[in-house]
Amino acid sequence: MIDEAVGKKLMKRRKNITGALALCIILSGIAGCHARQQERPAKAEMNSQTGEDPKGEDTQSEEKPQEEPKIIVVNDVAGEVNTGHEEMPIAPEQNRMSEQTEKKDEQIDEQIDEQKTTEDFYISGITDEIFARIQGLSFKDDCTLPREDLRYLHVLHKDIDGNVHEGEMIVNVHIAEDVLEILKELYEQDYPIEKIRLVDEYGADDEASMEDNNSSCFNFRFVPRTTKVSKHGLGLAVDINTLYNPYITTVDGRINVEPSNGEPYADRDREFDYKIEKGDLCYRLFKEHGFEWGGEWKNSKDYQHFEIPSARINEWY
């Protein structure tokens, strides 16, 4: 900082420079005007001798008036002159201020990026607002799983064309962090997932959700003909890109494919988008986080399905 005495001296010096400059400009203008007045009679005399019309003179040969210097304002202080041919020198103080401003801008950008990441991928409890969306649907009236055992995930995901979408998923509290990490890594590595919506948007109808290639997790139900809660009913199984990775079983000697419109993708020797294969990124990430893949089952194949092993679940329930 410049102390008050030095500041006053600088302001006084600038005023003196400004006054002197203004005087020079005025004197220069007077001198130029006087010279032009003396020049006009001489030109008139020449024209009278040659018989030329003064209006027929070549305007390009006429001397152009001198351009006045331009006044530039730097740091809100007038008086520094720039003729337009030279750049004004920047004071060291101004350089330091500029560098400090740039550093602050960079820090703000970093904070915004960090905040954006936090807002894009996060876990929350089942708030009243979220519960109102699932009550009577995925969270059925006979649901035996406590609401407190569920978590809401907000994520981003990319489709096969690289378009970014927001996604929502409800999972069990025991796997919430694992699933969030998996979906975040899949997003960052451009692994395509077409849709991640709450199954409640399909009336909690699994078939309708799968037909739309929706990826989801929690939907309370019992294992057919038992009183045992299914792994999806516990929020401990995740289905990814369901249409292109169908559930294939043999019923009464006939092959059954779910969803029904996923039959063209039952042939796993074919190449197509959204296909999950052993060893791909989706497979590796779920396996690293302790999930089993339905594509490795012996009696049936559930290529969309990743679940927590029963032995681990027995430790929790």
**What are the pLDDT digits (tens) for 194-205?**
999 999 999 999
307: containing domain = 121-316
pLDDT at 145 over 50: yes
Residue 147 sits in the same domain as residue 210: yes
295 shares its domain with 176: yes
If asked whether residues 59 and 144 sit together in one domain, one would say no
| 85 plus 133 within the same structural domain | no
Q: Which residues pair with 302 in a beta bridge?
A: 247
Predicted model pTM: 0.65
Do both 42 and 165 map to the same domain?
A: no
In a domain, 272, yes or no: yes
Cβ count near 258 (within 10 Å): 18
Domain closes at, from 43, 67, 89: 89
| Axis crossing angle, helix 281-288 with helix 176-188, rounded to the nearest 10 | 150
Q: What is the pLDDT of residue 74?
A: 37
Query: What's residue 181's pLDDT?
Result: 98
Q: What is the mean pLDDT of residues 124-146?
A: 98
63 and 126 part of one domain: no
For residue 276, which amino acid is it?
I
97 within a domain of the structure (yes/no): no
Is 31 in the same domain as 71?
A: yes
Mean per-residue pLDDT, 268-283 = 98
> Which whole-number Å values give the CA distances from 156 to 111, 120, 179, 195, 255, in the listed order?
19, 6, 13, 10, 35
Q: 70, 89, 108: which is the final residue of a domain?
A: 89
Q: Nearest to residue 190, comparing CAs of 223, 160, 167?
A: 160
Q: Residue 111 falls within a domain, yes or no?
A: no
**Average confidence score pLDDT of the chain:** 79
Residue 41's pLDDT band, with cuts at 50, 70 and 90, is very low
Task: Please say whether the beta carbons of 124 and 148 come within 8 A.
Answer: no
Q: How many distinct structural domains can be found in the chain? A: 2
* Whether 85 and 155 share a structural domain: no
Do 149 and 12 share a structural domain? no
Q: Which carries the bigger pLDDT value, residue 197 or residue 48? A: 197
User: How confident is the model at residue 86, as a pLDDT?
Assistant: 44
